[in-house]
Structure 1
Amino acid sequence: MSLTELSPAEAAETFSRSTPTVGVEEEFLLLDPVSWLNVPRSDAARTALPPALRERSRAEFRRSMVEMVSPVCTDLPQLRRHLLENRYAAADAAATVGARLVAVAATPVGEPDLRVVDTPRYQAIARHYGPIAHDPALCGCHVHVGVPDRELAIQVCNGLRPWLPVVQALTANSPFHGGVDTGHASWRSIALERWPSLGPSPYLESAQDYERTVDELIATGVMLDASLVLWWARPSSRYPTVEVRVSDVCPTADDTVVVAGLVRALVATVAADVAAGRPAPRIPGHLLRAAHWNAAHTGLDSTLTDLHRRTARPAWELVDELTATVGDALDRHGDRAIVTTGLTRLRAHGTGATRQRDTHAQGAGVSGVLTDLAAATTSG
């Protein structure tokens, strides 16, 4: 019997005992290896990919971006292999067109060519949203966890809301923009606040409530269509998954794997709460937005907002609490060792943003930071 044939509670109970599939979309920048400006060579780079890897690539909004998509995976070692395959192939393709592939989440120096990719949909978005559609490129990491029941997916998104600022802080990887330190760990997150259809997902009662909310936002002009539901967590419009979109693209494949393991465990843990009849907390919108701003601002280098207690706490205390909360799911999925090792590495060396700032503080300048990031992009 499929999940869709079960009641919501039965679907949640069945799902929470399973090991859901996981897949990842990663967006990368193409940078000039001398000036480190963005270069608009995405079409040429995608053409240079081997055919099998070209099928995993997607045209993105900006001409300086390449998106690579993993296959659907059942375990983290399998996901890691595919992520590295994607990164190696995309880096080689970038080199053939005179660019470096860099896993950095915001344009670090500048983007002379601000045209969007010439597709009818992207052109319509550019016309509707005006100048914000021509902001320099931003790159995210989107984790998909298989949740084939739509009603359960809505309830899972509700339960993810208090924890996503912690995931956001773990992945902060864009402190530089315009050649200078912005003072934010994730400039990508700050810049995306200009878009009206991005940010925390609202608390929704059901799939019907989701459809009604989206219809209302389209009717008001906030969204052009349902594909522009770009909340930090959403039921995917394309796949039977919950898609978590809050993360900056991570510097290394190993960093991405840690995030994917945590997100998968968090989805399964929230589903268990749904099955047990434990409702997700209804976090006020202003507090949720504040928690995300704080995560983007400080990363893991200071405090984060504990949305359950509604107070500031040391960032790593909340990371440890998240790990403890999802511990049963990590064990069930066989992911605890990989996630724990990755978090230990992050605790020792810092987020991508912290590592960039450490390199910069050693006198390397932005060019040195980006040289290191380009090398890290294809490292384990």
Structure 2
Amino acid sequence: MTYRPTVATAVPDLTMLTLGVEEEYLLLDPDTGENLPVADQVLTALRGSARDQSRQEFRHSMVEMVTPVTADLAELRAQLVTLRRSAADAAEAAGARLVAVGATPLHEPHRTVPDKPRYHAMSRRYGPVAHDPAVCGCHVHVGVPDRELAVQVCNHLRPWLPVVQAITTNSPLHDGVDTGHASWRGMQLERWPSIGPTPYFGSAAEYDRTVDELIAAGVMLDAAMVYWYARPSASYPTVEIRVGDVCPTVDDAVLVAALARALVATVLDDARAGVPAAPVRDCLVSAAHWRAAHDGLDGELIDLRAGGARPAWALVDELFAMVTPALDRHGDLAYAIGQLSRLRREGTGATRQRRVLDRTDDLRAVVDHLAAATVAT
């Protein structure tokens, strides 16, 4: 049997939901822009709490930083600023640049996995897929201690996660060219058998039984390989939303965290009241995520409630309207309004990268732009 977090025995106070963010970053060569396999040196160079909040990743050219749990958005922002700065300093000491970008923009010559039994097992099981170029995501944990509720929350999130994905798109470049997709990371990850939209589950027991069956089928090594776009965390009493590219700036990441928490809080009210999630066919959910990864916010998204394609910003506006009471309750409304206005002006990370490339016709200028944005405060 797989590991199961303890289920809450009493209805928790979910008025103010906690937050935590995991961010993955690339380590790039300052001269060539290629991936640089110096993660071990970077992790060794980290000091104090930053070292405790770092994680080794699946690529030698990646590091992950994890914020402490907080209920305060300003505190979350301060934590991300500190963690990015600490990781950037450690990267510089190792001769690399820390870059918040969703997929390898140029080349990654060194693709072996770190020397850990789990990573070697993944390499043997999944073959070349496990040696794809590095991709980096932003995972938002929102506190939902009751697993039964957490499963229902994930059901309710399904129509809205493509909109969240579109907001985070930050990987249009790969192998030195524009892929035509706002999130090439989203395309790469589709090769993994345990990644994709969260299936609909009637209960936590059905969720657990399905995960056990997928492990028995060989699709996953264990429950930690449930990489669905939203899931009850295998390790923490949270709903983990893991659909997005890593965001280019701290404020982009904090905006996504604020919207994610407000979205969870909003659908949680329905879940606690026993309101069933709207049934949406899996193939249409997958199509909506493909369109989000392709267009970002510069085109259209699929409206999974009404059907058909609509302007992306119309769906963002509807998401915002729906979660406004929860944003207000958590004290995040003014911040979200300001940052959404900025996002509307500046565009997503993908849009900003393309703007730099159009202006300079120089991929290294795009990397310079991304590196500066990563540590901007």
Question: Do the structures match in fold with TM over 0.5?
Answer: yes
SS for the counterpart of 1:144 is strand
Distance apart, 1:51 and its partner CA? 2.4
What residue identity is the alignment partner of 1:4? A
Aligned to 1:60: 57
Alpha-carbon distance in structure 2 between the residues aligned to 1:35 and 1:285: 42
Map Cα deviations across residues 232-251 of structure 1 (whole Å, 9 max, x no partner): 00011111000000010000
What RMSD over aligned residues (CA atoms) do the two structures have, in Å?
1.1
Aligned to 2:8: 4
Alpha-carbon distance in structure 2 between the residues aligned to 1:192 and 1:34: 28
Q: How does 1:235-274 map to 2 (within 5 A)?
A: 235-274=232-271
Distance apart, 1:179 and its partner CA? 0.4
Aligned to 1:213: 210
Map Cα deviations across residues 6-64 of structure 1 (whole Å, 9 max, x no partner): 4xxx66xx52xx11100000000000001000011001001101122100000000000
Aligned to 1:197: 194
Instruction: Say whether 1:149 aligns with 2:146.
Output: yes
Distance apart, 1:276 and its partner CA? 2.8
Aligned to 2:334: 337
Alpha-carbon distance in structure 2 between the residues aligned to 1:119 and 1:170: 34
Alpha-carbon distance in structure 1 between the residues aligned to 2:151 and 2:201: 7
Aligned to 2:31: 34
Corresponding residue to 1:93 among 90, 104, 118:
90
Corresponding residue to 2:117 among 117, 120, 128:
120
Alpha-carbon distance in structure 2 between the residues aligned to 1:207 and 1:192: 26
Aligned to 2:276: 279
Alpha-carbon distance in structure 2 between the residues aligned to 1:193 and 1:140: 14
Distance apart, 1:219 and its partner CA? 1.3
SS for the counterpart of 1:33 is coil
Aligned to 1:369: 366
Aligned to 1:72: 69
SS for the counterpart of 1:217 is helix
Which ranges of 4 or more aligned residues in structure 1 deviate by more than 3 Å?
none
Alpha-carbon distance in structure 1 between the residues aligned to 2:374 and 2:244: 16
Distance apart, 1:226 and its partner CA? 1.1
Aligned to 2:291: 294
CA contact (8 A) 2:149 2:272 kept: no
SS for the counterpart of 1:82 is helix
CA contact (8 A) 2:19 2:140 kept: yes
Map Cα deviations across residues 235-287 of structure 1 (whole Å, 9 max, x no partner): 11111000000010000000000000000000010111112332111110110
Map Cα deviations across residues 129-169 of structure 1 (whole Å, 9 max, x no partner): 00000001000000000111110100001111100000000
Aligned to 2:3: none
What residue identity is the alignment partner of 1:222? V
Alpha-carbon distance in structure 2 between the residues aligned to 1:121 and 1:111: 22
Distance apart, 1:363 and its partner CA? 1.9
Alpha-carbon distance in structure 2 between the residues aligned to 1:205 and 1:343: 34
SS for the counterpart of 1:372 is helix
Sequence identity percentage: 61
SS for the counterpart of 1:245 is strand
What residue identity is the alignment partner of 1:313? R
Aligned to 1:23: 20
Alpha-carbon distance in structure 2 between the residues aligned to 1:308 and 1:118: 46
SS for the counterpart of 2:270 is helix
Contiguous gaps of at least 5 residues in structure 1: none
Instruction: Say whether 1:180 aligns with 2:177.
Output: yes
Corresponding residue to 1:170 among 167, 170, 177:
167
Distance apart, 1:311 and its partner CA? 1.2
What residue identity is the alignment partner of 2:105? P
TM-score by length of 2: 0.97
Alpha-carbon distance in structure 2 between the residues aligned to 1:364 and 1:93: 30
SS for the counterpart of 1:127 is helix
Aligned to 1:225: 222
Instruction: Say whether 1:305 aligns with 2:302.
Output: yes
Aligned to 1:350: 347
SS for the counterpart of 2:32 is coil
What residue identity is the alignment partner of 1:335? D
SS for the counterpart of 2:8 is helix
SS for the counterpart of 1:111 is coil
SS for the counterpart of 1:309 is coil
Aligned to 1:83: 80
Alpha-carbon distance in structure 2 between the residues aligned to 1:136 and 1:117: 14
Map Cα deviations across residues 202-251 of structure 1 (whole Å, 9 max, x no partner): 00011100111001111111111111101000011111000000010000
Distance apart, 1:3 and its partner CA? 8.7
Distance apart, 1:364 and its partner CA? 4.2
Distance apart, 1:74 and its partner CA? 1.1
